[in-house]
Amino acid sequence: MTTDHINVLEGQLRECYGRVVYSHKTHEKCADILLERQACIKLAQIIISAIVTGGIVSTFFGTKEIDSGGVHLTVPLKRSSTRDKKEFRDFLDSVEDFYASELGVWLGQDDG
């Protein structure tokens, strides 16, 4: 092999390595964004669950004044929280897909 062939091969290897590193970094960033979103959704679910639990407890042990606004406000929020649980599972699936794809890139598997 001549020096020209070696230089061409080295250039191709550097380009392939750069693509793999770039793909790895973008998948990592996307997974980080999805994990941050997951944490926000989880916090919202905890807050909504606390409000709903407070409304239910006040229904049984509290006065009518406390009950009137709390439960009626939290029922729609709880329904949206149930919908968010599905989105939460979808986010987890997306994160797992990104990590699997990232691993495939490092192992040299090309999905197309």
Residue 112 covered by a domain: no
Other CB atoms within 10 A of residue 111 CB:
7
Residue 32 covered by a domain: yes
Q: Are 80 and 68 in contact (CB under 8 A)?
A: no
Other CB atoms within 10 A of residue 31 CB:
18
Q: How many domains does the chain have?
A: 1
Place of tokens 């061409």: 8
Q: What is the pLDDT along the chain (112 residues), one digit of tens a residue?
A: 799 999 999 999 999 999 999 999 999 999 999 999 999 999 999 999 888 888 777 777 765 554 444 445 555 555 555 666 667 677 777 777 766 776 666 666 655 4
Residue 61 covered by a domain: yes
Residue 99 covered by a domain: yes
Q: Helix 64-107 to helix 3-61 angle, to the nearest 10 degrees?
A: 160
- Supply the pLDDT for residue 67: 45
Spell out the residues 6+ positions from residue 95 whose beta carbon is closer than 8 angstroms to its own.
Answer: 31, 34, 35, 38
Residue 43 covered by a domain: yes
What is the domain extent for residue 65? 3-107
- Supply the pLDDT for residue 101: 72
Residue 88 covered by a domain: yes
- pTM across the whole model: 0.49
